[in-house]
Structures are given as structure tokens and as C-alpha cells.
Amino acid sequence: HPLISLTPTCKRLADALVDPALQQIAWSDHGFRTGLIGVTNAPAAIADGKLPDTVALVVPMPSAKVMADIVAAVRN
């Protein structure tokens, strides 16, 4: 998922999201993959009962133009 940092303060969140300890919690407790090349996530490491059997609601990402419009609107 894209993360748009519009101020230097927001960059702290981007830095936190690549923290190995935080990524481990995100994977083991919530099933969030790192998305980093070379990082392997072990499905057996996910805590039992933490994830649903199926994912019923999925929303596609907006187009690049819509994302650019959102960024422009947030900046203003």
C-alpha cells in the first residue's frame, strides 16, 4: 500500500514501517507481509486465530491520476 509523506514529520511513520521488530509483529499478529525483496514470511509463524479464513472485502487501489489528485488536495 502506498504511504504518502507530505511533511518531514510524516517520514517518521515511513521509517517505523521498515523497522524489523514492527514488521515481525505485523506479520505474526496480523499477517501483513513486508513487501521487501529477499524477506521470507513463514505462514506457520502467524498466531492461530489471528486471521480470517477468507477475505470478503477487497478494494482496488485508485488510478495514478486519482492518487495524484488526492495528494494535490491534501497539500492544499
Q: What is the pTM of this model?
A: 0.48
Question: Using one digit for the tens of pLDDT, what is the confidence trace for 49-61?
Answer: 666 778 788 888 8
Residue 36 CA to residue 18 CA, distance in Å, equals 9
Q: Where are the domains of the chain?
A: 8-75
For the stretch 2-55, pLDDT in tens is 777 778 888 888 888 888 888 888 877 777 766 666 666 666 766 666 667 787
| Measured distance CA(10)–CA(36) in Å, rounded | 21
Q: Which amino acid, residue 75?
A: R
Give pLDDT, residue 53.
Answer: 78
- For residue 58, the number of C-alpha atoms closer than 13 Å in the C-beta half-sphere is 5
